[in-house]
A and B are shown apart, each in its own frame.
Chain A
């Protein structure tokens, strides 16, 4: 990938980005120092924030990874542990996942087709949500967290300007280009943007319910990242009926790319 960009060039604000790997993907944290902080101080602030976020992701991954045989989720999957005796966080997320299953009329489900409990559809969103809360608790106001393509932002890339973070949405037909963009926090509403594709997890072109996927990619912008993430997943699996339910039932902006490359969007995504 030869494309480079320097979005801060015009504004002069020293945007800094650090990355780490967790949950099988790469997490990028972009931070803008408040005020004219010196280089070293800004770096320290970033390092401290990054350490908090990274720790949070690692802890959740240790509990929920089905790739780690010793994780709580794996022991639960093998039947060595029952849900009533599981940790609080496990039971909380399980309850939340079930709540989402009801609200999406089954389009989102915390269980794999083979019956194994798989909360990974929720855990990443939860980790981003917790990371955002931690950043705010640390007093960081202007930041943007991207975990494998799901984005949560706070403040602005240019502190004090009210300018929104601009998030691009990858074109599923050509991953080197963008199909659209969305301003995060433009109106202070949608700070989160999540994208799901039909090519994830071996589900590819087809939906689980036996009909082909209508959408190759669905992006949802919402006030919180878990809602955005789950609705995106649900629309990919539930097709147009779920898209209409999501648009009607949630304060969300949705852009769906059909398998033929054409677009379906709610009004907020239009120019």
Chain B
């Protein structure tokens, strides 16, 4: 009987940890705009990888063949910044434009936004290797720490 309790406790704990881990992986990668589902078949569905809030898309543009084109409006998604609805423009099978339609927060009921900051995946920001840049921005480097900085490597290469 003691075994039963131990096993049940172990299973329950493992389940809870797994759920937490799963939630954590998703939270770490929370993104309201995702790049999957770039092609939409017929009905024109754009899907998000954010499992907790799948984008049920409605087609407003024209769709033809296997490569869809048009504008897709995602379902409203709850983020820590408020509720966001995303419009995706697809042409030639790739997303050409992503616009956040509206976002609400505590102060503002609904606003058009142009420059709102939103969570993004690391794979979704403008990226570069240190070999591709001419300068490096970072939190203030003291002269002592400079020697081990990326900027020092670039400077040394261009003396």
Rounded to whole angstroms, the CA-CA distance of A229 and B35 in the bound complex is 32
Rounded to whole angstroms, the CA-CA distance of A270 and B123 in the bound complex is 9
Binary B-proximity of A173-205 (CB < 8 A = 1, otherwise 0):
001111111110000000001111101100000
| Cβ-defined contact, B136 with A178, below 8 A | yes
A169-B138, A195-B138 as given contacts; A271 in contact with B125, CB under 8 Å: yes
A1-B152, A24-B142, A25-B141 as given contacts; A181 in contact with B132, CB under 8 Å: yes
B140 at the interface (CB under 8 A from A): yes
| Cβ-defined contact, B158 with A17, below 8 A | yes
Rounded to whole angstroms, the CA-CA distance of A263 and B146 in the bound complex is 25
| Cβ-defined contact, A6 with B139, below 8 A | no
Min CB distance B27 to A, Å, is: 8
Checking A6, A124, A169, A260 against B137 with a beta-carbon cut-off of 8 angstroms, the contacting residue is: A169
Give the one of B115, B120, B139, B149 with max A CB within 10 A. B139
Rounded to whole angstroms, the CA-CA distance of A12 and B17 in the bound complex is 55
- For the side of the interface on B, what is the size category? 35 or more
| Cβ-defined contact, B157 with A4, below 8 A | yes
| Cβ-defined contact, B124 with A271, below 8 A | yes
| Cβ-defined contact, A261 with B152, below 8 A | no
B21 at the interface (CB under 8 A from A): no
A262 at the interface (CB under 8 A from B): yes
Rounded to whole angstroms, the CA-CA distance of A174 and B114 in the bound complex is 31
Give the one of B28, B119, B120, B152 with max A CB within 10 A. B120
| Cβ-defined contact, B120 with A167, below 8 A | no
Contact residues in B for A194 (Cβ distance below 8 Å): 137
| Cβ-defined contact, A8 with B137, below 8 A | no
| Cβ-defined contact, A263 with B154, below 8 A | no
Binary A-proximity of B17-44 (CB < 8 A = 1, otherwise 0):
0000000000111100100000000000
B116 at the interface (CB under 8 A from A): yes
A97 at the interface (CB under 8 A from B): no
Interface residues of A in 257-271 (CB under 8 A from B): 260-271
| Cβ-defined contact, A149 with B134, below 8 A | no
| Cβ-defined contact, B133 with A265, below 8 A | no
Select from chain B the residue with minimum beta-carbon distance to A8.
B158
Binds B, one of A59-67, A69-77, A84-92, A242-250: A242-250
A172 at the interface (CB under 8 A from B): yes
Contact residues in A for B155 (Cβ distance below 8 Å): 17, 19, 28
Min CB distance B115 to A, Å, is: 5
| Cβ-defined contact, A30 with B119, below 8 A | no
| Cβ-defined contact, B139 with A217, below 8 A | yes
| Cβ-defined contact, A25 with B157, below 8 A | no
| Cβ-defined contact, B117 with A144, below 8 A | no
B1 at the interface (CB under 8 A from A): no
Rounded to whole angstroms, the CA-CA distance of A203 and B17 in the bound complex is 33
Select from chain B the residue with minimum beta-carbon distance to A14.
B158
Checking A21, A177, A197, A260 against B130 with a beta-carbon cut-off of 8 angstroms, the contacting residue is: A177
A1-B147, A3-B150, A261-B28 as given contacts; A168 in contact with B157, CB under 8 Å: no
Checking B27, B136, B140 against A197 with a beta-carbon cut-off of 8 angstroms, the contacting residue is: B140
Rounded to whole angstroms, the CA-CA distance of A132 and B152 in the bound complex is 21
Contact residues in B for A146 (Cβ distance below 8 Å): 135-137, 151
Checking A5, A157, A269 against B126 with a beta-carbon cut-off of 8 angstroms, the contacting residue is: A269
B7 at the interface (CB under 8 A from A): no
Min CB distance A45 to B, Å, is: 15
A133 at the interface (CB under 8 A from B): no
Rounded to whole angstroms, the CA-CA distance of A5 and B157 in the bound complex is 6
| Cβ-defined contact, A168 with B146, below 8 A | no
Contact residues in B for A150 (Cβ distance below 8 Å): 137, 140
Q: List the 5 shortest-distance A-B pairs measured between CB atoms, nearest first.
A: A197-B139, A181-B128, A170-B138, A168-B133, A17-B158
